[in-house]
Structure formats: structure tokens, C-alpha cells
Amino acid sequence: KARNQHEPEFIQAVQEVAETVLDYIAEHDIYNGKNILLRMVEPERAISFRVSWVDDKGEIQVNRGYRIQMNSAIGPYKGGLRFHPSVNMSILKFLAFEQVFKNSLTTLPMGGGKGGSDFDPKGRSDAEIMRFCHNFMAELSRHIGPHTDIPAGDIGVGAREIGYLFGMYKKIKNEFTGVLTGKGLSWGGSLIRPEATGYGAVYFAENMLQRSGTSIAGKSVVISGSGNVAQYAAEKVLQLGGKVITFSDSSGYVYDEEGIDAEKLAFVMDLKNNKRGRISEYADKYASATFFKGEKPWGIACEVALPCATQNELDGDAAETLLSNGCICVAEGANMPSTPEAIHKFHETKILFAPGKASNAGGVATSGLEMSQNSLRISWTREEVDNKLQEIMKNIHDNCVVYGDEDGYINYVKGANIAGFVKVADAMLAQGVV
């Protein structure tokens, strides 16, 4: 803790894992006395670099770029890139640490990493985005590779940015390889990758609900965010017969009492992905909706909540409100959106709660499937990838049940942490102190 005292998000993520895994280590001789968790919390490598670029006015801008290569015990580093002004070492180390466990849970051979920049894409022209991505990759390219480290998208990094990043990597290295995932379909991408995180989170929620004898069909669902994860979580909820009633962004949320149907969702996708507009415009378009400026959607009564925006967006008070309104299931689409106080309340009340490292693992799992297709130089069909995704989400769910059973109540946090830990720890022990 002393060594990382200026990194609150990282400490929060480690503490959550330590609370569940330390007891398990103490009970199992093979892990005991090996300082295994102490080794896991120290990144194998943390790179910070200057990204200077020229904006549309001809002015030189300077941002900071990062790549955290956290753990490569079970495969090459794998994890997204985030472009957001809040990006710093603490945020990226928390994300990279979570990624190690998440990637382990997918059952695919991927280590954990994360990267990005404090660059703010909001209000930037397409040409500025391209110049930033190119200059960012000019340095990052030295540290990554298809057998070393394979970045993907995250907040602020979607299909457009992956294209610019890939173009520059290819130019510098003079090779066409699967060094990034989330690529366009015509140049090495996988079907279902854009949908995978949102779909996967809903598949996970459905697994939890079905185990409890119910399902998402007919349930009211509150979703936060309106980006990649939120959009496809909504699409899958609609396909399974649920009713989506909110979306949000950093300026507030919209509540549509009639429900956000497929046509309204198409409007949100166009607004956010093509026009890069604000979610408040949804309420201008649809009379059944109201916009709540600067607020989060947790006060709206629902049975299922899917936080899909960002870290620490659902605190203890919000959790209490959700519970008092009858919420029975929370599945995290985002990374660490619930604060420790919120998670405590969910566990105390014994509702179904899935931590992001389990329920949002569908994105990276499908990135793993993209890597396999790139290596084999083939493309699987939509159905093939979707079936594999569903199978992986079910495996993750069932693995959490095995390790998270507390007298009949499934503590999915504990289950995910221990199941993720065991595979990485075993590999580290086998490879010795390196």
C-alpha cells in the first residue's frame, strides 16, 4: 500500500481481490509463503511516453501515453487502450490488474495489460484524432507485437481509432499481423467483436437469473452509459424480451418510460457512433423520454441494472436506492463501476451481483477469438463466434459458482477472483521467480 499510496483506484482493485484471495492462499499450501499476490500487484513493466502532435490550428499539443504490461504468465499481454482526460497510472494499473484475472477467467491463453492516454477526443476533428493515433503508435509500436502485447479498444478508442493505430503499426513494422483487436471486418476483424462485451454481460446476467429460476424476459433494465458496451447490452436485452428504460453519458441520463425499442436504439447508435452527439438529444427526439442533467440513472425503479459507463459510478447510496426499488440483479458491463460500499450492500441483501471481471469478459474473450482467426488466417461466421461467446460466458459463470458458493448464496466476486487467481498463480509457480 505504501508503495502505491498515490494510486487510489489501483489500491481499491487490489484490496477487493486480496479480501477474497488471501484466505484461499492461506488454506492452500502450494500458494502459502510464496508472496504470490505481492508479485501479481507489481507490473512486469509500466511504460510512460510523450505523445506530441499538431492540432488543426497548427499548435503543438503534448499528451502522455502509457502501456502497463501487468502479467504474462499465461499468455501475451492483452487489454484495451483508453483515451480520456482522467487516464493516469492509478486508473491504468487498476484496469491492468483486473484484466489479468478477467483474461484468466476466459479460459483463453492471454496475459493482462492496459494502456492509453490522457488525450481527450471530445470536440476533436477526425484529422486530429488520426494525427494523435499515429503519433501515439509511433512510440507504442516498440513495445507491442502479436506475440508480445496485443492492445484493443476501451473508452474513447473504437473502430475508427483502432484503424488509425493499426495503419501506423503496419507502416512502421512493414508487416500485416494481428497486433490489435477490434479491427474492421475487411482487414482482420472478427464478427461479433463490437457486440461482444455488451452481449456477454447480458448472457452472464441471464445465466445468473436462470440459475435462480427466472430470466431477463419481461424485466425492466436500467443501463448507464451509451457507448459500445451500453448499446450492445441494450440490443441483447431487447432480443431476450427485456425492457430497457435508460441510457446515460457524462452529461446526464435519459429515462424513457415506454422503453427503448430497436428503432430508438438505432437512433442512439447513430447519435453516438456517427454524429458523436449527446444523450440529451434523445429526449429532444422522443416525447416519452426525460433528460436528467448531471445525474445517474440509479433512482429509476428496475429489476436489473447494468452499469456500462465507467469506474465508481454506482456508490453505496445508489445501491440502497436500487435495492429499495426492487432490483434483484446487477451485472457490471463497465470495469469496477460499483464502489466497495455498493458491493457490500448487494452482498448483504444477497441479490445477484456480477463483477465486471467476470461479466464483461466477453469482449476480451472475443478478442482472443479474433487473434485465433488471425493466426489461422480464417474468418468464423457470426453464429460460430456468438456460440463460442455464449459458451465462454457460461463457463465463466459456472466457474464463479464453483469457487463462490457461500452456503448456497453465490458470491460472484469471490468466485471470479479465486477462479482467475488459481490459473495465473499456478503458471507463475511453474515458471519460477522471474
114 labelled catalytic: yes
Residue 117 in the binding site for ligand NDP (CB under 6 A): no
Pick the closer one to ligand NDP by CB: 71 or 310: 310
The identity of residue 114, as a single letter, is K
Find cell 513494422 and name the residue: 173
Alpha carbons 414 and 401: distance in angstroms, whole number:
9
Where do we find the cell 435508460? 246
* Least separation in angstroms between CB 234 and ligand NDP: 11
Q: Is 177 annotated as a binding residue?
A: no
User: What's the closest the beta carbon of residue 58 comes to ligand NDP, in angstroms?
Assistant: 27
Quote the CA–CA distance of 259 and 341 in Å, as a whole number.
Answer: 30
Write out the E strands in 39-111. Answer: 45-54, 60-71, 77-83
Residue 225 binds ligand NDP, judged by CB under 6 A: yes
335 is a site residue for ligand NDP (CB under 6 A):
yes
Q: Which of 91, 202, 205, 334 is close enough to bind ligand NDP by CB under 6 A? A: 334
Q: How far is Cα 152 from Cα 76, in angstroms, rounded to an integer?
A: 13
Query: Minimum distance from CB of 375 to ligand NDP (Å)?
Result: 21
Query: Smallest distance, Å, CB 325 to ligand NDP?
Result: 21
- Residue 359 near ligand NDP by CB under 6 A: no
Should residue 153 be labelled a site residue for ligand NDP when binding is judged by CB under 6 A?
yes
- Least CB distance to ligand NDP at residue 208 (A): 18
Angle at 193 between CA 190 and CA 195, to 5 degrees: 140
220-224 vs 243-244, strand pairing mode: parallel
Q: Which stretch binds ligand NDP (CB under 6 A): 155-163, 183-191, 315-323, 413-421?
A: 155-163
Q: What is the three-class DSSP state of 46?
A: strand
Q: Which of 90, 228, 399, 411 binds ligand NDP (CB under 6 A)?
A: 228
Position among 76, 111, 156, 178 found at the interface with ligand NDP (CB under 6 A): 156
Residues 92 and 115: their CA atoms lie apart, in Å, by: 6
Which residues are CB-neighbours of 125 under 8 A, at least 6 positions away? 56
Q: Are residues 220 and 303 in contact, defined by beta-carbon separation less than 8 angstroms?
A: yes
CA atoms within 13 A on the CB side of 80: 28
Confirm or reject binding of residue 226 to ligand NDP (CB under 6 A).
yes
Burial class (CB in 10 A: 0-12, 13-18, 19+), 335: buried
Task: Say whether 374 counts as a known binding-site residue.
Answer: no
Identity of the residue, 185 or 217, whose beta carbon is nearer to ligand NDP in the bound complex: 185
- Residue 273 is given by DSSP the state I
CB of 83 to ligand NDP, least distance (A): 9
- Binding to ligand NDP (CB under 6 A) within 302-321 occurs at 308-310
Give the contacts of 349 (CB within 8 A, at least 6 positions apart).
Answer: 323
Residue 104 burial (CB < 10 Å; 0-12/13-18/19+)? buried
Which of these segments, 50-58, 71-79, 331-339, 374-382, binds ligand NDP (CB under 6 A)?
331-339
228: cell is 459500445
Q: Is 180 exposed, middle or buried (0-12, 13-18, 19+ CB in 10 A)?
A: buried
Query: Toward ligand NDP, which CB reaches closer, 104 or 226?
Result: 226
Residue 367 annotated as binding site? yes
Site string for ligand NDP, 175-214 (x = CB under 6 A): ----------------------x-----------------
Name beta bridge partners: 223: 306
227 binds ligand NDP (CB under 6 A): yes
Residues 360-399 that bind ligand NDP (CB under 6 A): 360, 363
Cβ(66)–Cβ(92) under 8 Å?
yes
Catalytic residue among 1, 34, 93, 114, which? 114
Beta carbon of residue 269, minimum distance to ligand NDP (angstroms, whole number): 11
- Binding positions: 78, 99, 102, 153, 197, 228, 367
- Binding positions for substrate: 78, 99, 102, 153, 367
| Residues acting as catalytic residues | 114
- Binding positions for NAD(+): 197, 228
For ligand NDP, the binding residues (CB under 6 A) are 153-156, 158, 197, 225-230, 249-251, 308-310, 333-335, 360, 363
